Amino acid sequence: MSQVSVDIQWYPGHMAKTKRELKEILPVIDVVLEVRDARIPAASHNTDLAEITARRPVITILTKADLAEEEATNAWIRYLEAQGLPAAAVDLRTGRGLKVLERKIRRQHQLIGERLRQRGRQARGLRGLVVGVPNVGKSTLINRLADRSAAKTGALPGVTRGKQWIRVGSWLQLLDVPGVLWPKFETPQTGFYLAVTGAISPDVFDYVRVSAALAEYLLSRRPQALKDRYNLGSVPGDGMEILAAIAKRRGFLLTGGSVDVEKAALLLLKEFREGLLGRFTLDLPPDF
């Protein structure tokens, strides 16, 4: 895969504020639902949040499973479970995997109820905190579990800007908070993965260079997907040339007849995120 030639970083002020608020709210939380993107389970794991929530039971949820490679997702679930982390993969468009997830949440409710009774206290409803990076589907997940549109959702990162408590039946309340990244990505690859899957605002990175790197990644992994989707007889080896070829085939022309590479870059990012080039898992579990 081509290395991204720009340093992608994004940590707006509301994320730092959210992190401080999470520390304050944690004493009333029973269980943490950590939402990750099934295409990038490692890159979408916020270790800062993991440190904050370390004293609470955690259920890991891999959303967008319909966009990831099924075999790799199953391997991630096995890996996480082996680490002692209950995990479930869900497709929020169809609801697949939600029953498995609900069983795991109810199991935590049962365990916490048993602990309360052992202390002579009455069992009560479960309070869960839903955390994750931006645009990973936290609010959509809550709406699916609640079976109604209770939490705000959107296609761009940053839709949820404040805390929202959502009741799920009589036994569960979920707190939806804004997506949170961490102050500095350890490697350019992490920033690249977060950018191409839509977790980072498009206003803060060079989307043409990132899209060109994505084109080279696709060429190395699955060149036929590029050929078929964009009707390319052959695929150039350079990312910018691939974008130019896509622009030419789609008729993206500027005044004077030159190709509109920027429009092709946006198209490739959009169609990759929507799964129109196939299902991809960008980072794989250890020993896969």
pLDDT in tens, 210-220: 999 999 999 99
* Band (157; pLDDT cuts 50, 70, 90): very low
Sequence spans of domains, the chain: 13-176, 206-273
- 3-class state of residue 269 by DSSP: helix
pLDDT at position 146: 87
pLDDT at 7: 65
Overall average pLDDT of the 141-170 stretch:
67
Domain 13-176: give its CATH architecture: 3-Layer(aba) Sandwich (3.40)
Q: What is the pTM of this model?
A: 0.88
Q: CA-CA distance, 288 to 285, in Å (whole number)?
A: 6
The yes-or-no verdict on residue 45 having pLDDT over 70 is yes
| CATH fold group of domain 206-273 | Conserved Hypothetical Protein Ylqf; Chain: A; domain 2 (1.10.1580)
Q: Which of 149, 150, 155, 151 is nearest to 135 (CA)?
A: 155
- The per-residue pLDDT of the chain, averaged, comes to 88
**DSSP E strands: which ranges in the chain?**
31-37, 58-63, 87-89, 126-132, 164-168, 172-176
